[in-house]
């Protein structure tokens, strides 16, 4: 592997490590910048002549690990969004069952307010 190839692979490795740190810490605002950097380096890696397969295998392992972390983070975000939607729905009405076992929705007469205190 040439020196240029090694530098590109090393940079990609560092970005994958940083991406893992970002995913583990929840600093999701950094992800778009990392994706842009990975895209550029991936294009450069694709143009390489005779890359070291062991190093590419290591990069692939890290990329797959990060993809799993990202999938899990997105799943968690979806669960939180669903929970908030359920809480909003519950705050607007009360669902209960009548004596025949049929679900009934009662609108909430109370509007919630946020009180600020110093």
Domain presence at residue 103: no
Domain presence at residue 109: no
Residue 110 confidence (pLDDT): 57
Domain presence at residue 115: no
The parent domain of residue 15 ranges over 3-91
Domain presence at residue 108: no
- From first to last of its 118 residues, the chain has per-residue pLDDT tens of 577 778 888 999 999 999 999 999 988 899 999 999 999 988 887 777 666 778 889 999 999 999 999 999 999 999 999 999 988 877 777 778 888 989 887 776 655 566 777 6
Convert 31-47 to b/e letters by CB count within 10 Å (16 or more is b).
eeebeebbeebeebbee
Domain presence at residue 116: no
Nearest to 93 by CA among 102, 103, 83: 103
Structural domain total, the chain: 1
Residue 107 is encoded by which pair of tokens? 């609108």
């Amino acid at each position: 592997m040439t020196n240029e190839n090694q530098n590109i692979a090393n940079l990609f490795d560092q970005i994958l490590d940083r991406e893992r740190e970002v995913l583990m810490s929840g600093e999701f605002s950094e992800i778009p910048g990392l994706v842009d950097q990975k895209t550029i380096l991936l294009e450069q890696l694709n143009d390489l002549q005779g890359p070291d397969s062991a190093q590419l295998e290591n990069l692939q392992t890290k990329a797959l690990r990060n993809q799993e972390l990202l999938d899990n983070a997105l799943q968690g975000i979806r669960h939180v969004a669903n929970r908030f939607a359920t809480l909003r729905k519950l705050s607007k009405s009360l669902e209960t069952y009548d004596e025949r076992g049929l679900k009934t929705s009662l609108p909430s007469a109370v509007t919630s307010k946020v009180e600020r205190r110093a």
